[in-house]
């Protein structure tokens, strides 16, 4: 894709970052680019009001507690709003500055604080005098944005003599008001109303350079045409409270311009001098390869090091460029930076100027592209399904004011793309087609659509650089995700014979299931539940669309007598799975009511009935049976017992034969 910023911008960013890499300010203010905002635009030098606590005036050799409203600049967290001021030499305590000082512990342990105006990114120095009252008192110095958790700067533990403490604080980005707070931690005698004398509080700002830039078209006119001359002026003004040392003005020339040889000048006060373009012979140079202009300025500047820019001083660097190309950008944008070292903190800093923008007159080559997708089969243009194919096509239009040639389309998904025609007049369009197609996948259904973006590229006349269109994205809607699962079951009878496949009590059955992904989304966590046959193991627990897997019950099922008495073994089996549909998981299931016929095999035998040949007639006084004679009235009892035993034997013989068949 065509990047909207030229290479000079990227070089400017790199140079600025290299200069400022060791500074805290860079953490809050990125290196400038052609679109960078001026930073800083102004400087606020931080200062403490009533730092020696000379107001309000307390009678000599006394101390008194006053309401915070009467103490200019200072506030307290004490619940009674009291601040205690001592006028030396009360109780023999000397004063390090002026005639008065403050005791943080007035009626209670509290915090004494003041809010000061600051410049975001600047480094400031705080300083104070601290003393214990009856021994070693301890306090903390904290700084930060008001009404936030203040950052600890230092913990001060001081005995009965004044001691000077100081430190550096870098103001975070966006923090225009900074609170400095003195927090009482402890006093030597442990009394909450004793201790922590403070005096001579000050805050000093460091160097703060404001860089501003202007441009003038020396040829005349508000816009630029090929061959025009632009003059740039960069002003670096130290508005801080400390000197800026090692000061250098840096400018990376934008694309489309060339430095006018010998045009670099430096103005300090009423004196204007010129520097050469060569490297190493004076305080300024132009690096042709890097397209970077660097001028070391300030007192003591040399070919190796920048000079010192005192507080309140400013310097102006001017140079001219010739416009030798007007095809790269709609305007010539330029930003300068000033690199320096803050004498207060010894930190390397960078100041960024405003960006000057000079519009370029036409030529203005431009083109647009519209990407389209067509689904096969045709009836699914609005709801493409897995397996459908999408072919891409493009309409490229010359929307600029010059003819374009070598029209091409950039689309990695399109394969080899051809455009007809390949040369476009102003306002003319070309139809482009690709050789590659996209096959819709179940994953596309999860997204809900198939999107493809493309850009167009063409070459303007007169050797200008190619131009690219904005990206055009075609979006094809896919059908909704409709996950589904189905299951079938079969049973292996490990007790049946080929001659008799029927199922009887005591048979051993193994349940087998075939689970199929019958929806349009992949399934995970595929499982089968069988409340009667027990745990089931599946070969695969993930199924793509249309795939099936086999699941088998872990244990054999023994057909029971109850099953045989019922005649049908009923149960409901179910198959379940989870379809991943983006961030959500959709569960699907299929239940089947399964019935197995169970036969009851009870062998029966024909016994002779009364009155048939060979059977004794109970009414006959002389019955005969199988040649056995009967005498007397008791002769029928042995016969009945014999018949009963004969029947039992026949029944046992039948059961034995049945068991043998089942084992076979």
Tell me: the pLDDT tens digits for 422-471? 999 989 999 999 999 999 988 888 888 999 999 999 998 756 789 999 99
Which ranges in 510-635 belong to alpha helices (H)?
Answer: 561-566
Alpha-carbon span 529 to 552, nearest angstrom: 11
Domain 63-205 coded CATH 2.60.120.260: yes
Q: What is the pLDDT of residues 602-655, one digit of tens each?
A: 544 454 454 444 444 444 444 343 333 333 334 334 444 444 554 444 444 344
Give residue 32's pLDDT.
Answer: 37
Alpha-carbon span 574 to 544, nearest angstrom: 19
Give residue 637's pLDDT.
Answer: 46
Q: Which CATH architecture best describes the domain 367-475? A: Sandwich (2.60)
Q: Give the start-to-end residue ranges of the domains of the chain.
A: 7-42+208-359, 63-205, 367-475, 485-597, 602-664
- Which positions ≥6 away from 10 have C-beta within 8 Å? 33
Alpha-carbon span 662 to 81, nearest angstrom: 104
Decide: 327 and 273 in contact? Cβ < 8 Å: no
Q: What is the largest CA-CA distance in the chain?
A: 167
Nearest to 231 by CA among 337, 354, 356: 356
Element (H, E) at 659: helix 636-663
Give residue 245's pLDDT.
Answer: 97
Give residue 226's pLDDT.
Answer: 72
What number does CATH give the domain 485-597? 2.60.40
Give residue 462's pLDDT.
Answer: 59
Q: What is the pLDDT of residues 243-278, one digit of tens each?
A: 999 999 999 999 889 999 999 999 999 999 999 999
Buried/exposed 52-61: b ≥16 CB within 10 Å, e otherwise: bbbeeebeee
- What residues of the chain score a pLDDT lower than 70? 1-36, 327-329, 362-363, 462-463, 582-584, 601-664
CATH topology match: 367-475 vs 485-597: yes
Give residue 149's pLDDT.
Answer: 96
Alpha-carbon span 407 to 420, nearest angstrom: 9
Using DSSP, state whether 601 is helix, strand or coil: coil
Decide: 181 and 150 in contact? Cβ < 8 Å: yes
Entry pTM: 0.49
Q: Is 35 left (phi over 0), alpha (psi -120 to 50) or beta?
A: alpha
Give residue 365's pLDDT.
Answer: 86
Give residue 663's pLDDT.
Answer: 41
Alpha-carbon span 642 to 649, nearest angstrom: 11
Decide: 552 and 579 in contact? Cβ < 8 Å: no
Domain 7-42+208-359 fold is Immunoglobulin-like (2.60.40)
Distances (CA, A) of 383 to 374, 436, 484, 522: 11, 20, 18, 18
DSSP annotation string for 384-406: B-TT-EEEEEEEEEE-SSS-BEE
Give residue 36's pLDDT.
Answer: 65
């Amino acid at each position: 894709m065509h990047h909207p910023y030229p290479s000079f911008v990227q070089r400017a960013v790199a140079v600025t970052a290299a200069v400022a890499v060791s500074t805290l300010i860079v953490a809050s203010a990125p290196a400038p680019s052609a679109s960078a905002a001026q930073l800083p635009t102004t400087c606020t030098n931080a200062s403490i009001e009533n730092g020696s606590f000379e107001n309000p005036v307390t009678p000599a050799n006394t101390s008194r507690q006053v309401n915070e409203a009467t103490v200019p600049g200072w506030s307290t967290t004490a619940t009674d709003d009291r601040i205690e001021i001592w006028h030396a030499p009360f109780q023999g305590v000397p004063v390090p500055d002026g005639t008065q000082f403050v005791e943080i512990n007035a009626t209670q342990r509290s915090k004494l604080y003041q809010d000061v105006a600051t410049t975001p990114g600047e480094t400031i120095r705080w300083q104070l005098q601290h003393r214990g009252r009856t021994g070693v008192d301890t306090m903390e110095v904290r700084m930060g944005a008001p009404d936030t958790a203040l950052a600890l700067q230092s913990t001060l533990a001081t005995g009965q003599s004044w001691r000077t403490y100081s430190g550096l604080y870098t103001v975070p980005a966006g923090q225009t008001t900074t609170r400095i707070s003195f927090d009482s931690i402890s006093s030597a005698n442990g009394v909450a109303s004793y201790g922590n004398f403070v005096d001579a509080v000050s805050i000093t700002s460091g160097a703060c350079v404001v860089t501003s830039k202007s441009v003038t078209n020396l040829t005349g006119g508000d816009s630029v045409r090929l061959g025009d001359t632009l003059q740039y002026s960069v002003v670096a003004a130290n508005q801080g409270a400390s000197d800026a040392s090692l000061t250098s003005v840096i400018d990376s020339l934008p694309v489309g311009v060339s430095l006018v040889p010998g045009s670099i000048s430096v103005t300090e006060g009423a004196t204007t001098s010129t520097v050469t373009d060569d490297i190493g012979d004076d305080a300024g140079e132009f690096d042709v390869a890097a397209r970077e202009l660097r001028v070391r300025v300030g007192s003591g500047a040399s070919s190796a090091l920048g000079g010192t820019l005192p507080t309140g001083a400013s310097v102006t660097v001017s140079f001219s460029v010739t416009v030798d190309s007007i095809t790269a950008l709609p305007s010539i944008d330029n930003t300068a930076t000033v690199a320096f070292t803050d004498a207060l903190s010894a930190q390397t800093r960078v100041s960024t100027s405003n960006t000057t923008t000079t519009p370029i007159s036409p030529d203005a080559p431009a083109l647009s592209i519209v990407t389209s997708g067509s689904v096969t089969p045709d009836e699914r243009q609005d709801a493409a399904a897995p397996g459908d194919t999408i072919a891409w096509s493009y309409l490229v239009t010359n929307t600029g004011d010059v003819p374009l040639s070598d029209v091409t389309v950039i689309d990695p998904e399109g394969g080899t793309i051809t455009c007809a025609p390949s040369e476009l007049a102003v306002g003319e369009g070309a139809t482009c087609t690709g050789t590659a197609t996209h096959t819709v996948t179940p994953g596309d259904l999860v997204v809900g659509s198939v999107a493809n973006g493309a850009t167009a590229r063409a070459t303007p006349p007169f050797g200008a650089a190619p131009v690219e269109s904005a990206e055009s994205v075609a979006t094809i809607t896919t059908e909704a995700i409709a996950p589904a699962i189905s299951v079938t079951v079969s049973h292996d009878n490990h007790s049946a014979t080929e001659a008799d496949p029927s199922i009887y009590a005591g048979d051993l059955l193994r349940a087998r299931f075939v689970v199929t992904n019958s929806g349009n989304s992949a399934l995970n966590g595929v499982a089968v539940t069988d409340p009667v046959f027990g745990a089931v193991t599946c070969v695969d627990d993930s199924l793509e669309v249309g795939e099936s897997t086999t699941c088998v019950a872990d244990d054999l099922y023994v057909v029971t007598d109850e099953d045989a008495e019922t005649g049908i073994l009923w149960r409901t089996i179910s198959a379940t799975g989870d379809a991943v549909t983006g961030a959500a998981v959709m569960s699907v299931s299929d239940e089947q009511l399964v019935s197995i016929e169970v036969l009851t095999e009870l062998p029966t035998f024909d016994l002779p009935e009364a009155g048939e040949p060979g059977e004794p007639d109970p009414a006959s006084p002389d019955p005969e049976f199988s040649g056995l004679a009967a005498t007397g009235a008791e002769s029928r009892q042995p016969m009945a017992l014999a018949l009963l035993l004969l029947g039992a034997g026949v029944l046992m013989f039948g059961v034995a034969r049945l068991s043998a068949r089942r084992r076979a």
